[in-house]
Amino acid sequence: MELLNEIITKILLGISHNHLVDMGVVVILTTTLVFIDASQRVAIEVLRYNLDNSRKNTVVNCLTTLLWYGWGRGTYTNEHGESKRYLMSERLRGDLLVKLCIQYPAWMLLSIIFVSLPDIPIPTTELFADQVFAFVFMAIPFLSECWSILENLREIVEDDLIDFGKWYGRMIEIVKVWRGNG
């Protein structure tokens, strides 16, 4: 027990205030991106429910799907003949739990451990290997969420869940009317 206390004390004394502030910023940004990612996943499930059940993706249909229909089983069946659940996605809940409770705290802990190591200079640079690794480990959750958001956007576009051409045309019309030449 004494050895464990000594190790923890050594690690905590090796962390600078700047690194803790950087970690706080990364945690706040990552939390924001997790919220955006989860919102995108819910929106994808709503759009997919409407598509699979031959409903147009109008504002009213999306709202009723989000508030009522999407929580039940749709008429779409998979290759095993089972009807699909959309918003009650076990994968969405499981992924969020693993990310927030296991993966991201582990990356932050690795960052803390590496920043508390003795400085290991990288030849011909002013950088230290321990600080570079600590920064990379700290940035992994943030970058992971960025990639997840991009994957969600790609899924929306590739599966034609939203007709972006139609939305772009509407936005151009709104801008023209607003400017007075529409």
In a domain? residue 32: yes
CA distance 28 to 9: 26
Q: How many domains does the chain have?
A: 1
In a domain? residue 21: yes
DSSP 93-111: HHHHHHIIIIIHHHHHHHH
Per-residue pLDDT of 35-47, as tens digits, reads 999 899 888 888 8
In a domain? residue 162: yes
Strand ranges for the chain from DSSP E: 73-77, 83-85
Domain holding 14, by residue range, is 2-45+89-179
Which tokens go with 108? Answer: 């932050």
In a domain? residue 75: no
**104-115 and 129-158 helices cross at what angle (nearest 10)?**
160
Q: What is the amino acid identity at position 129?
A: A
Strand ranges for 14-134 from DSSP E: 73-77, 83-85
CA distance 90 to 107: 24
In a domain? residue 51: no
In a domain? residue 78: no
In a domain? residue 171: yes
What is the pLDDT, as a whole number, of residue 73? Answer: 67
In a domain? residue 127: yes
CA distance 32 to 85: 27
What is the pLDDT, as a whole number, of residue 74? Answer: 63
Per-residue pLDDT of 3-29, as tens digits, reads 888 877 877 777 888 888 888 999 999
What is the pLDDT, as a whole number, of residue 133? Answer: 93
Low-confidence ranges of the chain (pLDDT < 70): 73-79, 81-85, 89, 160, 164, 182
What is the pLDDT, as a whole number, of residue 179? Answer: 83
pTM above 0.75, yes or no: no
